Amino acid sequence: MQQFFSYTVSGMGTAAIYAIAAAGLVLTYTTTGVFNFAHGATSMLGAFTYWQMRFAWHLPAPVALVLCLGVLAPLFGMLLERGVMRYLDGTSETTKVVTTISLMLGLLGLSLWIWNPSASRPFPRFWEGEVLTVGGVRIPYHVVATLAITGFVAIVLWLMLKRTRFGVSMRAVVDDRSLVALNGARPHVISMASWSVGTVLAAMAGVLIAPSLKLSALPLTLLVVNAYAAAVMGKLKSLPLTFVGALVLGLGTEYLRGYQGSLRISQKLMPGFLASVPVVILLVVLVVGRSPLRGQTITRVRETVQRPTWAGSTGMGAGIVLIAALLSDVLPRTDLFTLGRIWGLGIIALSLIPVVGFGGHLSLCQMSFAGVGMVMIQHLGGRGSPLALIAAAAVPAVLGMIVAIPSFRLSGIYFALSTAAFAVLMDRWIFLLPRFRFLGMDWDIFNGGSLDLRRTRFFGLSTEGNRAFFVYGAVAFALVSVAVVAIRRSNYGQRLIALKDSPAACATLGMNIKVAKLGVFAVSAGLAGLGGALYGQGMQSATTESVQFLSSLTLLMVMVVAGLNSPGAALFAGVFLGFGLNNVIFGKLADLVPDRLGWAQGFFDKLGTNTLIVVGLAGLSLGRHPDGFVATRLRPRWDQILARPHALLGIGGTLGVAYTARVAGLIGNWPFAIVTLVVLVFVPRVIIPKGPGANAEDLSGDPEEVMIRASARGH
């Protein structure tokens, strides 16, 4: 019995921290309508800030707490609202979620920049070593203080939201900002206060739980994944139910950990299973607790889903293959090996377009499907058989339909959370499973954490060489991009966009919504699996780190920033993430800086090696440019260039001269790359200057397309 009480006390301490973190999530979502994926990163930043003041600068604990939780945290919350969240009005749920994801990635990158992740940072508990003994059970003062703080937070939040005029105004802002303003309130001030309080709660949770996680950036950032279950139990609006959910989560996890020896489960499976308990609970709560399909209000957004032309799409595909073939003759083999992975990543990025761009279902697990594709190509393609590619697409497609089943009952942020839970489950448990025996067979999914992948052979032709694989990957990317365009131009694509606007209206008109959802998830997951196979073959040795949940978030964020509905954005995502474009750009800038400006060289070097902070900063601009820079900056001008043969001929001729000079040895690879970049990106901006005609409304095409564009623009 004493052991049971000990587990109960430990579980209640963990539950109290989950409750504080989940309360901050519920508060910001209830009062602003934005689900903050960066809540865990804010907790992490608060914990590191407190450590810096308390243990690095040796400030007294009360002073460090007041500065961290009473000054810096609320100021940071106000800055977030003023600089980022305020611009999300009129954007889709996808843009709002991806903005907070970009904030999460940026804060994680910032912490890795400031605090060396390899350094040891002891973070003792408050009142370390002092305990309270009750009935023979020793309760640390830290746990007692955590429980007391949680109770105080619960009472204060409930009184503020239910018993004060300001609290009622906070809840009203998310429903109708204009009506709140007409009643004399100031919506922006109210939203700023909500973000300030939510940030304080996040930082408080980080400070309290940091001693248990050894002040590690990534576990603290993903703390919020465990708090999701508690927040969802409260339906993202009820604080009492949220605290009950946190209690169930904390106690359940601790009891399972304490009594795992008496459970009839293989001890090989238990470590990953215990780490996955919170996400399993989240999946169960999401699937069981939400209501079926219901209507939704059609709101105007500032985002469009343009219909690509066959000429432009096939031209882009042919151009990609041609450029890849030419580059394969001039680039060194080492560069070709590095570049070989961009095509697989690009195809995984393309897989996001049907499910997120067309269908409006926010999937956060595409890299998990890619990991399954890697597993299939490794286990079945040992001799380079092309049939393994079919399995690499087919198995994830079936898995994608299974993941889509909760979408019959879930929508919006709730479905996004279910895909996040699936991705974390794969990370923490499935991909990490050791060799085990099941159904009379030996299973080793990720071969102990690393897969050695052999490249495919087609009719006796091998893609083993770096040059051959580079061209083969370009052909595969071009074919998949044309297939995605075909989906967009088909009647099925039209139905997906209509389903994105109003599921209830589509159901009323007789559309089989379940079949449409299963279909788009099967296609998307299959493409992700195929892309994962090529991505793994490009690396030739893949680890579980390459398909983590964080990788899915990064890929989605880059796609949305570049332009989610554009195949060109997928190519950019593949180059940026696969080739490390930021490292190349900022590395060259660092080389150009004079030696006397060492601080500037260090600044650019850190930006070059820190992809997270670069993509995070780029994602914060989504409120102002929700269509992405490819759709809003590059594509309109290229559409007009394609309609001007003389301009297209001039650009092609310039690139031809540059390539000839490179082959002849007159210029090196870097001058050739710079000329190509200038011609493809900057010359169109000069040829087609921005003016009244550049952004004119396009009223050509099918009537349905015209209506969609006009409605999206508010006409």
pLDDT given at position 704:
45
pLDDT given at position 292:
42
Indicate the residue among 562, 580, 606 that finishes a domain: 562
- Please state the φ and ψ torsions of residue 450, each to the nearest 5 degrees: -145, 135
For residues 422 and 461, the model is more confident at 422
What is the arithmetic mean of pLDDT over 512-522? 89
In a domain, 612, yes or no: no
Together in a domain, 549 and 494: yes
Together in a domain, 376 and 485: yes
Q: Which has the minimum average pLDDT: 71-85, 104-118, 611-625?
A: 611-625
pTM to 2 decimals? 0.84
pLDDT given at position 472:
94
Together in a domain, 312 and 259: no
The encoded tokens of residue 539 equal: 């690396």
Indicate the residue among 562, 589, 608 that finishes a domain: 562
pLDDT category, 291, cuts 50, 70, 90?
very low
pLDDT given at position 688:
66
Domain that includes residue 240, residue range? 2-264
In a domain, 437, yes or no: yes
pLDDT category, 298, cuts 50, 70, 90?
very low
Q: Rounded to whole angstroms, what are the CA distances from 252 to 213, 293, 425, 490, 493?
A: 19, 31, 17, 49, 44
Residue 311 has pLDDT above 90, yes or no: no
The encoded tokens of residue 34 equal: 């934005």
Decide: 531 and 542 in contact? Cβ < 8 Å: no
pLDDT given at position 487:
92
Together in a domain, 390 and 508: yes
Together in a domain, 254 and 312: no
pLDDT category, 265, cuts 50, 70, 90?
low
In a domain, 708, yes or no: no
Question: Looking up tokens 């090196």, which residue turns up?
Answer: 668
pLDDT given at position 226:
76
Structural domains in the chain (count): 2
In a domain, 65, yes or no: yes
pLDDT given at position 585:
64
Together in a domain, 247 and 317: no
Residue 239 has pLDDT above 60, yes or no: yes
Together in a domain, 113 and 254: yes
In a domain, 362, yes or no: yes
Q: How far apart are CA 115 and CA 401, in angstroms?
A: 42
What is the arithmetic mean of pLDDT over 153-169? 80
What is the arithmetic mean of pLDDT over 34-54? 91
In a domain, 276, yes or no: no
pLDDT category, 692, cuts 50, 70, 90?
very low
pLDDT given at position 696:
40
What is the arithmetic mean of pLDDT over 514-543? 92
In a domain, 89, yes or no: yes
In a domain, 299, yes or no: no
Together in a domain, 426 and 512: yes
Together in a domain, 219 and 314: no
Q: How far apart are CA 419 and CA 415, in angstroms?
A: 6
Together in a domain, 408 and 507: yes
- The SS3 of residue 143 is helix
pLDDT given at position 694:
43
pLDDT category, 159, cuts 50, 70, 90?
confident
Output the CA angle 703-704-709, nearest 5 degrees. Answer: 100
Here the CATH number for the domain that contains residue 225 is: 1.10.3470
What is the arithmetic mean of pLDDT over 344-371? 92
Sign of the dihedral defined by the CA atoms of residues 234, 236, 240, 245, in that order = positive
Give percent of the chain with pLDDT exceeding 70: 79
Q: How far apart are CA 111 and CA 537, in angstroms?
A: 32
Residue 222 has pLDDT above 90, yes or no: no
Residue-level length of the chain: 715
Say if residue 100 is exposed, middle or buried (CB neighbours under 10 Å; 0-12, 13-18, 19+): buried
Together in a domain, 107 and 208: yes
pLDDT category, 711, cuts 50, 70, 90?
very low
pLDDT given at position 699:
39
Do the bridges between strand 450-452 and strand 541-543 make them parallel or antiparallel, or are there none, so unpaired?
A: antiparallel
What is the arithmetic mean of pLDDT over 185-204? 84
Q: Which residues of 173-192 are buried (b: 16+ CB within 10 A; e: fewer)?
A: bbeebeebeeeebebeebbb
Together in a domain, 63 and 164: yes
What is the arithmetic mean of pLDDT over 39-64? 93
Say how many Å lie between the first and final Cα of the chain, rounded.
69
pLDDT given at position 252:
84
Question: Looking up tokens 């508060």, which residue turns up?
Answer: 27
Structure confidence by residue, pLDDT tens digits, 541-588? 888 888 989 899 889 888 888 888 888 889 988 988 887 766 666 666
- Please state the φ and ψ torsions of residue 596, each to the nearest 5 degrees: -70, -15
Structure confidence by residue, pLDDT tens digits, 430-486? 888 887 766 566 677 887 778 888 888 887 788 888 999 999 999 999 999 999 999
What is the arithmetic mean of pLDDT over 350-378? 91
Indicate the residue among 504, 534, 562 that finishes a domain: 562
